[in-house]
Structure 1
Amino acid sequence: MSSLVIFLWVSNICFDTLGQVAFKYAAISPTNRDGLYYWLDLAKNHWIWVGIASYIAEFLLWLAFLTLVPLSQGVLLASFNIITIMLVGRILFKELLTLYRIIGMLLITAGVIFVGMS
């Protein structure tokens, strides 16, 4: 893989992870209102906009990435974001990392390495 492909891949994963974290922060923001007022409060939450901006950046990076790698390889490499999101979830939100999740992360990492070498 070229340095540009690696840069686009890592940037894509970073923006996807940032977007997921931003949406999680928005989702857990306290609000005591229901219905339409809940959604209006959510629209005013800066984390929603950080998440949307991150997803737009991720989308553009993904398109650039796909111009350089086959789709079958790109999709497998993109699965690495599962690992970053699980780790960030553990660090920021104290989410549980079970033995099965850790084994899954190791298998995904091995798969990404094999795909990257092909």
Structure 2
Amino acid sequence: MTPEATTLWILTLVFDTFGQLALKAAAVTDGDTDGLDRWQTMAKQKWIWLGVAAYVVEFFVWLAFLSMVPLAQGVLVGSVNILTVQLGGRIFFKELLTPKRILASAMVAGGVALVGWAG
């Protein structure tokens, strides 16, 4: 990948990971409501809107990235977000990383490295 494509790829990782974490933060806020009341409560939170904004920005960055790389390579390299979101969940939400998840993450990283290496 060119330096420009690599930069765009990193930006998609940042915006996608932030979007996922922001939506998670909105979804786990304290509240005894459910149904429509829960949705209304979430809609008032900054995290849900920051998450949506991150996805909008990521959409355009992703389009620019895909214009520079073959689709098969772009989609597979883009799957690295599985790793960054999982790590973010561990750091910010204290989510459990089991040995199976760590092994699966290593397999994803290895597969992405092979795709990138294959050109």
Q: TM-score, normalised by structure 2?
A: 0.93
Kindly indicate whether residue 72 of structure 2 is the aligned counterpart of residue 51 of structure 1.
no
The Cα shift of 1:108 comes to: 1.3
Cα distance between partner residues in 2 of 1:33 and 1:100? 34
Superposed, 1:6-85 pairs within 5 Å as 6-85=6-85
Cα distance between partner residues in 1 of 2:20 and 2:35? 24
- How many residues align? The count is 118
Structure 2, unaligned runs of 5 or more: none
Structure 1 stretch 27-36 or stretch 94-103: which is displaced more?
27-36
Partner residue of 1:102?
A: 102
RMSD: 1.1
Q: TM-score, normalised by structure 1?
A: 0.94
Structure 1, unaligned runs of 5 or more: none
Residue 37 of structure 1: SS of its match in structure 2? helix
For residues 31-83 of structure 1, the C-alpha deviation after alignment (integer angstroms, 9 at most, x for no partner) is: 23343332222111100000000000111111001100111111100110000
